[in-house]
Amino acid sequence: MNSKLNYHINQIKKNGFVKLDRFLAKKTTQQLKDLVNFNYKKYTGKEFTGTPDRVTDDKMVYNLQNKNYTFIKLITSRNVVEIAKYFLNDPYYRFIDNKYPNYNLLYFNARSSGKKLDLHIDSHIPFTGKLTNMMQFVFLLEDSTIDNGCTIVVKKSHKSGKFTDRKSKKIIPLNGKAGDLLIWDSRLWHGTFENNSKLSRWAIVATFGAWWIKPSMNITRSLPNTIYKKCNNMQKQILGFCSIPPKDEHDRINTKCGYSFIKKNVQDYY
């Protein structure tokens, strides 16, 4: 692992987050932004069951893995995989060599913030220790500032073992430029300012977790077969196709599987 990756990993371990400047080229950033806007327009007039009040002013595109293979390539690029693998791989997985990832994608959305988002943790429960089980990778597609609702964090709060103090005065704004990548430990206290600019602030948010954590939506069932067939074995594993629970003991007796379990078509699993 190169020195830059080691630096980024150490920053996450120490502070709970890191920013990788200019992670994406301008052309790539614009291409991704165009794809997000194209798919967002398809949502016009649609309402989604269960949407909380706090995000009613947000622009959202859900399940990017289902929209275009380009999004899958983004989250399986070498540096993303190496950092996620360092924190999230199960060293005793056994069915896949540890040089490859065995963590899973849990949810994958594009978001442009609206209302203020209070400090929260995405690990669901607070806990202490050097190991985490979930992480966020946020690819900025537009400049992120205090005025347009940038992410806020409380430095080192991933070590607290506590739920958030929403009155904390220790918040730090994570300003960034289009093309930057923000990464944080899901135990980190984080939120957003309100977007007062009336302009979009698109970012792509990928959450990864240990193989045994349930994703927010059924990624393996919903993935279009046309996209599935473009994925290599590593990408299929990250999407969850090596950790689909068996139907019963006659199917198999272990949720964990290796690449040999991967099928020709999505439908073959069901």
Statement: residue 72 has pLDDT above 80: yes
With cut-offs at 50, 70 and 90, classify the pLDDT of residue 54.
Answer: confident
pLDDT for residue 56: 77
Q: How far apart are CA 203 and CA 32, in angstroms?
A: 10
Total domains present in the chain: 1
Statement: residue 30 has pLDDT above 90: yes
pLDDT in tens, 182-197: 999 999 999 999 999 9
CA distances from 124 to 84, 172, 213, 237 (A): 19, 22, 11, 24
What residue numbers bound the domain in which 259 lies? 3-269
Statement: residue 1 has pLDDT above 80: no
pLDDT for residue 45: 79
pLDDT for residue 14: 98
Q: How far apart are CA 67 and CA 266, in angstroms?
A: 16
Contacts of 238 (CB under 8 A, 6+ apart): 75, 76, 81, 101, 103, 104, 105, 208
Statement: residue 44 has pLDDT above 90: no
With cut-offs at 50, 70 and 90, classify the pLDDT of residue 215.
Answer: very high
Contacts of 21 (CB under 8 A, 6+ apart): 177, 180
**Element at 225 (helix H, strand E):** helix 225-228
With cut-offs at 50, 70 and 90, classify the pLDDT of residue 140.
Answer: very high
φ/ψ of residue 198, rounded to 5: 65, 15
Mean pLDDT score of the chain: 96
CATH number at residue 253: 2.60.120.620
Residue % of the chain over a pLDDT of 70: 100
pLDDT for residue 46: 86
pLDDT for residue 51: 84
pTM over 0.85: yes
Q: How far apart are CA 72 and CA 66, in angstroms?
A: 9
pLDDT in tens, 235-265: 999 999 999 999 999 999 999 999 999 999 9
